[in-house]
Structure 1
């Protein structure tokens, strides 16, 4: 599986606000395989789109 970071959101957002999750949900609605991961060192939430590697190993 190959992942690409498509958005980054600071972890210190307003209480009750989930912008990374909302962004990932919008991308999933459009057919992308998006998930949210936490970059602990950078203190940011990352929206990552994943895809299967090509059969030719080019990814």
Structure 2
């Protein structure tokens, strides 16, 4: 799994910045870009390449 972008969960716009970045990544050719919540860091992450074990 590769992290492309990170946005704090406490951001005033919530997950929107991460969702927008994931949409940009998908449009740019990374169809598996997705947003996940990392509870340890309290961040929304845009990631690619998650394995079934990581999901």
Establish whether TM, by shorter chain, passes 0.5: yes
Q: Which has the higher helix share?
A: 2
Unaligned runs of 5+ in 1: 53-59
Unaligned runs of 5+ in 2: none
Q: Which has the higher strand share?
A: 1
Distance across 1 between alignment mates of 2:16 and 2:27: 17
TM superposition score normalised by structure 1: 0.72
How many residues of Structure 1 are paired with residues of Structure 2 in the alignment?
50
Counterparts of 1:16-55 in structure 2, within 5 Å, are 18-32=16-30, 33-50=32-49
Distance across 2 between alignment mates of 1:48 and 1:21: 11
TM superposition score normalised by structure 2: 0.77
The runs of at least 4 aligned residues of structure 1 exceeding 2 Å deviation read: none
